[in-house]
Structure 1
Amino acid sequence: MYVRLGLVPTIVASSADAAEKVLRTYDHIFASRPHNEACQYLAYGQKNLIFAKYGPYWRNMRKLCTLHLLTNQKINSFQSMRRQQVELMIKSLKNEARNRLVVDVSAKIASLNVDLTCLMVLGKKYMDEDLDKKGFKALVQEVVHLAATPNLGDFFPYLGVIDLQGLTRRLKDLAKVFDKFLEKIIDEHAQSHDQKQSKDFVDTMLDIMQSGEAEFHLDRIHIKAILFDMLVAAMGSSSTAVEWILTELLRHPHVIKKLQKELEEVVGLERMVNESDLEKLKYLDMVVKEGMRLHSVVPLVPHEAMEDCVLDSFNIQKGSRIMINYYAIHRDPNIWPEPDKFLPERFVGSSIDIRGRDFQLLPFGSGRRSCPAMQLAIVNVRLFVAQLVHCFDWELPNGMQPCDLDLDESFGIVTCRENHLMAIPTYRLYE
């Protein structure tokens, strides 16, 4: 579909076939990102990995992240830390279960994800007030909201400097807060660098900066841009995916019972789930796939044509914007029978994967601009869902029936629930 957004010609790819052409066949043409006013201010002139223009700088940044920060070895090195933080959440929920309290499940998941992200990336947990009086999570949510708000400067470049919407002023204020926080983090790490036994992502990047082994001049601005990416992206997408999967499980009690049965057979009721158990949990894999299909956490992703080309008889000019409509692809009735229903069994005997190989299911994108933190996100989502379903039975509050649980969505780059997921847990493992 062709539309014109301001001065920007825009093509929307809403089928698996079109997505494959953009992300595989012509990936070398469409691997760039369009101009983004929000990232100009928040990500140091679009120097972050997610929105950087395609070219030598982006390629080297991607290589640095995949080789040093997001390898399987690095992800596995944080396994004990993940377990410790999950155990703390389960312990907290267990105490609330004793008193039959209604729990804000959305807040619990978000808090766990924030703590895990801070520990992996920054080396310690940060309290809300460490960033700003508004609070850490509130500011990140404001970043996500502002980044998703249509900015006239993105579609009429000459209007960007006028700031008719007042967005630039808000973006500059947010950027100052984040920059001060990130500078403080880098300073703390630089001062204690030589004494540390285990190294987080900041330590690793400082090592690379000091050694000069990066294939470009890596400085503090680049480190801050990567940190900004990791904090904002990791804190939103993984927890949102878990939130939607749990929503669907609460709406479909027979599915949660079937998943609990698998967990009992593989894990037993004497202990929590270990990460080594995850590969044996086939029905869990189906539940996660179906949750990610039905609820596209990032429903629209922009690309930019770096040269003129012809795509399915359409002449696409250099500089055109291509939007991949993952929401439409994941609910295409030509691919998915009864696309609006939550049916994990649709993956029985299916080889469809979520890692970017199969274009009918692309929760992490595909091609050069696929999510570099995909493996970490998959581990976290599977682990969180497995633990919450294995350790607890869940009941909706105030006598609410499963079919009455809302599916209202909140506007943003990441599509979260409009209303927090609330439920009553009952501990089900042997004491």
Structure 2
Amino acid sequence: MSKFLSLMDAIKFHPFVFQALATFFIFWIIHKWFHKPNGSKKLPPSPPKLPIIGNLHQLMSSLPHHNLHRLSRKYGPLMLVHLGSMPALAVSSMEGARAILKTNDLSFADRPTSWVAKKLFYGPKDVSLSPYGENWRQRKSICVLQLLSNRRVDSFRAIRKEETSLLLKKIEDSSGVLNLSQMFFEFSNGMISRAMSGHKFSEGENGKKFVSLWKDVSSSVGAINIGDFIPWLSWVARVNGFKAKVQRVAKELDEFLELVIQGRMGRTREEKAKDIDLNKYGENFVDILLDIYQSNAYGVSFCKESVKGILMDLLEGGTHTISIAQEWMMSEMLRHPEVLKRLQAEVRGILKDRVDITDHDLEKMTYLKAVIKETLRLHPPIPLPLHKARNDVKLMGYEVSAGTWVAINIFAIGRDPKIWDEPEKFNPDRFLNSSIDFKGQDFELIPFSSGRRGCPGISFAMANIEYTIANLVQKFEWKLAEDGKELDMTERQGLHVGRAVPLLALASKYQF
């Protein structure tokens, strides 16, 4: 009952809703009395559910990946939960992930969509929310070839070096406590926005407005809208102001993206020829998308909303995935000073008297790669990627109906004692003599998911994470801002799971 009341408080119900719930509960009892369920299908085990809301109370009142992990210990690695009237399959094992993301990849190649995501990400005209098909393949191909391929990632080396230098300068000039969470956000957002458009969205006349707007985007995406799961309660979002907030954010976001697009559309060849960034870094992604849109190279399905949707996908994914991985990595090293010292010894030993780190140097840093893998095992930036069944499918002996949502609990797989020795312990050594990688072929470690819907930006993310962390541990000595006090590792709720409280630290420059 306490969880049910917590749900009521979480979604800020209007008093009249209790009358509606009571009425609906009576009809539900009558329905259950006269309706006998079809026992012909073998369904996965399921925890008890409440009337109307199903198992929503177990997902809305705290961190859902933790709750599903706990429930899976009792009900098994394939577990059917009910989000209101919506059936959802929670998958918490390596074998289950492989069965969905590899064996039956095509059957689960769609993504479920929420009202908020559709409003903010132009779904289904983007990549992340677009249903599987030719339009989705075209858009993903554009992203991979023009921004996220290894060749393109290499071409961003100069931007990566400049942005990292700015980060290092901020740290060096600071004389007090550093908010590393904020610094990592600024770095990753600056990196992806420069790669996309040639300039930082957080700077200039509209910079402050963008930063504030982006905070609203993140909080809106991380919220749960009860109307997505119980349609007749959609009005609650109007009563508590959530709908008005999302509509405002969507309008301001569209106006911002329109300014970005209009700033690049009308340029002549002569103006492009004088573009310093264009000559130094090559054609940026916004220009490439606009060329495709204006030439109609991909047909009528590629409209201006597709341009905006793809930009949102990349901006949101590129900002949060990188910054969250960086802050968890530094958090774990500050909690485990012996790991930090060992990584510093590796980086400084490879560099010797040199200051600048090259890609060739990074290739030699095996302990750095082990620390990154161990961080992503314990702290995947998106612990519950969602899929949706496109057709009826038999999965590991159970029947899964078309339209069922599927949540792959990457968090639970990374802490499975059947796979990992002492799974709760931060121990990078486990990866030193291991061939396990995070590129989607080893299903015990899939922080970027796998299959058709796996993240295409792994190379982009890793290039930035490796380079920045190597520079931070090489050039500075680090300690927690509150020395001797245990670091709070609480997670925040949302699609991307970062720290609930900022990571604060002190840095002193290393004397070479």
TM range (shorter): over 0.9
Q: Deviations over 1:169-200 (max 9, x none)?
A: 22111110010000111010112353323321
Cα 1:145–1:46 change in 2 (3 A) is farther
Q: Secondary structure of 1:273's partner?
A: coil
Superposed displacement of residue 150, structure 1: 1.6
Q: What stretches of structure 2 of length at least 5 have no aligned partner? A: 1-78, 273-277
**Residues 23-422 of structure 1: pairs in structure 2 closer than 5 A:** 23-96=101-174, 99=175, 101-127=176-202, 130-131=205-206, 135-160=209-234, 163-164=237-238, 165-192=240-267, 194=269, 195-196=271-272, 197=278, 198-214=282-298, 217-401=301-485, 404-422=486-504
Superposed displacement of residue 158, structure 1: 4.6
% same residue = 35
Matched with 2:95 is: 17
Q: Secondary structure of 1:423's partner?
A: strand
Q: Secondary structure of 2:82's partner?
A: strand
The higher radius of gyration belongs to: 2
Matched with 1:3 is: 81
Partners of 1:130 and 1:36 in 2: CA distance: 33
Bigger relative contact order, structure 1 or 2 (CA pairs below 8 A, ≥6 apart): 1
Partners of 2:125 and 2:88 in 1: CA distance: 24
- 2:438/2:446 contact within 8 Å kept: yes
Superposed displacement of residue 216, structure 1: 5.4
Q: Deviations over 1:349-378 (max 9, x none)?
A: 100001111000001110000001111011
Superposed displacement of residue 139, structure 1: 2.4
Superposed displacement of residue 331, structure 1: 0.6
Amino acid of the residue matched to residue 235 of structure 1?
Answer: T
Superposed displacement of residue 277, structure 1: 1.7
**Runs of 4 or more above 6 Å deviation:** none
TM-score (structure 2 length as normaliser): 0.79
- 2:123/2:309 contact within 8 Å kept: no
Partners of 1:129 and 1:123 in 2: CA distance: 13
Superposed displacement of residue 132, structure 1: 7.7
Moved more, 157-166 or 172-181: 157-166
Q: Deviations over 1:131-188 (max 9, x none)?
A: 586x423322322222222212321245446735533222111110010000111010
Partners of 1:349 and 1:216 in 2: CA distance: 51
Q: What stretches of structure 1 of length at least 5 have no aligned partner? A: none
Matched with 2:39 is: none
Superposition RMSD on alpha carbons, in Å?
A: 1.8
TM-score (structure 1 length as normaliser): 0.94
